[in-house]
Structures are given as C-alpha cells and as structure tokens.
Homo-oligomer: A and B are copies of this chain.
Amino acid sequence: MSDPVQFYFDFSSPYSYFAAQKIDRTIEACGREVRWKPFLLGVLFKITGSQPLNTVPMKGDYCVHDWQRLGKMTNTPWSMPETFPISTQAAGRAFYWLDDQDPALAKTFALAAYDTYFGKGVSIMAPSKVVDIAASVGADGDALTEALKDAAVKQRLKDETAAAIDAGVFGAPFFIVDGEGFWGSDRMWMIKRWLQGRSA
C-alpha cells in the first residue's frame, strides 16, 4: 500500500475549503487514501512575506469575488465571513486530538468546521465554538474542552506546522504525493495525472 496523499490546509483558507469538498473523492478514485494535515498559514506567511489574499491590492477584490463565483460554479455553500482571516489554533488543535482517536471523525469535524466558517460565515476562532462543532458530529465536548488547554495538544499543532514547512509547504491548499508537491485547489487535474503515472 502506498503512502497516503498529504492534504495540507488552514481552516481560514478559502481555497482549502473548496479543495476539502472534493479531495477525498478525487484521490480515492485513483486508489489512494488522503491524510488531512491542518497547519497555521500565518507562520508560513512570515517566512514567505505573504499577506492574506483579501488584503493584497487588486488581488484582494478579485479573490473575494472569485470565492463567491467558485461557490456558485461548484454548488458549494459560500458566505464571506465578516471576520476574516482568523486564527485557527483551536480548530487545528481539535483536529489532531480527534485524528489520534478517529481519523474519519477528524475529517467529519473539519468539514463541519469549514461549513460553519465559509458555508455559513460564522467565526470558528473561539475554542467554545470549535467544541460545539466537534460535539455536533459526535466528539466528547467536555474532554475536548480540557484537551484544548493541554500543553501537549498545543505543541502538536506547532510541530505539525513546522513539519509542513520542512516538507516544502508554502501555501494552502498544498498536496504532497510521494514527495511531489502540488499547490492550489486548481491542481487536482495534475495530481490525478501524476497518480495515474502519465508523467515521470
């Protein structure tokens, strides 16, 4: 069995939200599994000198419009959040805590968190909100509330972010397939061709 495809994302990245809707279906159709890896985009932005897309002159207006257009074109719910971008520490910490217990539940939580933030436009920055979302998909809310204060849980997300950067991730969404990196939600076609062995 080959290694899973790595799907790196930040809970505050709109293009990652769109990628998340289809990544499992796309990759599983090629006979491979997907491992979801949230990380903190803000840490990377300090290295690459990037800014949140919506704050870049000209590009910002385009992206806000593009997200709405992508939602329509792909039949994906879209509501531009009033608070954007946000810190996603709580969601990232919750994800890895769940992932260690039940990877399928962690993905279900991630999709629910994305639906709350970008589908409904409601902030997921507060730990209490993250706990509510996790509980709504079947996680133990009380245990998660405690876990989010745990130093080891906090460190885990830091370590995962550092590991992503070490692996060459410089934006989100980012995919690593057998060591080969692909950046952006528009690159599904290339990942599929790579998996199908049509390029050396």
Residues on B with beta carbons closer than 8 Å to the beta carbon of A47: 57-58
A73 at the binding interface (Cβ < 8 Å): yes
**Which residues of B are found within 8 Å of A66, using beta-carbon distances?**
183
Contact A168 B57 (CB under 8 A): no
- CB pair A198–B73 under 8 Å, yes or no, is yes
174-196 of chain A: CB within 8 A of chain B: 181, 183-184, 186-187, 190, 193
Q: Are B48 and A168 in contact (CB-based, < 8 A)?
A: no
Determine how many copies of this chain the complex contains. Answer: 2
Assess whether A72 is interfacial by the CB under 8 Å rule. yes
Q: A48-B58, A186-B186 are in contact. List 9 more A-B contacts (CB 8 A).
A: A58-B168, A58-B170, A59-B170, A59-B171, A62-B168, A62-B170, A62-B181, A184-B186, A186-B187
Q: What are some 26 contacts across the A-B interface (CB < 8 A)?
A: A47-B57, A47-B58, A48-B56, A48-B58, A48-B59, A49-B56, A49-B57, A57-B170, A58-B165, A58-B170, A59-B171, A59-B183, A61-B168, A62-B168, A62-B170, A62-B181, A62-B183, A66-B183, A69-B190, A72-B199, A72-B200, A73-B190, A73-B198, A184-B186, A186-B186, A186-B187
Residues of A whose CB lies within 8 Å of any CB of B are: 47-49, 56-59, 61-62, 66, 69, 72-73, 165, 168, 170-171, 181, 183-184, 186-187, 190, 193, 198-200
